[in-house]
Amino acid sequence: MLLGPALAISAVLFTLGVAGVLLRRNAIVIFMCVELMLNAVNLTFVALAQRLGVGGQVFVFFVMAVAAAEAAVGLAIILAVYRHRQTVNLQDINILKG
């Protein structure tokens, strides 16, 4: 019954996450947009788990573990970059551009 609305809301949230990554220059905000995309996918998993069995909920558990690990390592990288460059603006961090 709730499957259609859940998948529609999930699609909108994922799109908002993608648009945020394209729209912002602040590395931390971009990182938060990635979290938004992960949550949109989690909503899809939970909505389908209601119809297809509990495996979807178990996968949400794994996604959360990966998101936690990603947040810890990613924020440590952002801190390390900030220590060298004194900025988290991605426009100023372009040494790989050549």
Partner 1 sequence: MILTFFWLFGAIAVTGGLLCITRKSPVASALWLVVTLFALAAMYVLLDAQFIAALQVLVYAGAIMVLFLFVIMLLNLGHPGPSDIKGPVGVGIAALLGGTLLLQLRVLGQAAPPDAITLPEGTMAALQQQGMVAAVAGPLFDAYLIPFEITSLLLLAAIVGAVVLAKRKL
Measured from the CB of residue 67, what is the shortest distance to partner 1 in angstroms?
Answer: 7
d(CA 95, CA 14): 30
- Smallest gap from Cβ 97 to partner 1, in A, equals 17
Cβ proximity of 78 and 12 under 8 Å:
no
Return the amino acid letter for 75: L
Q: Give me the least distance between CB of 59 and partner 1, in Å please.
A: 8
In this structure, what is the dihedral angle of CA atoms 86, 81, 96, 24, given to the nearest 10 degrees?
A: -70
Interface residues with partner 1 (CB under 8 A)? 1-20, 22-26, 28-29, 31-33, 35-36, 39, 42-44, 46-55, 57-58, 60-62, 64-73, 75-80, 82, 88-89
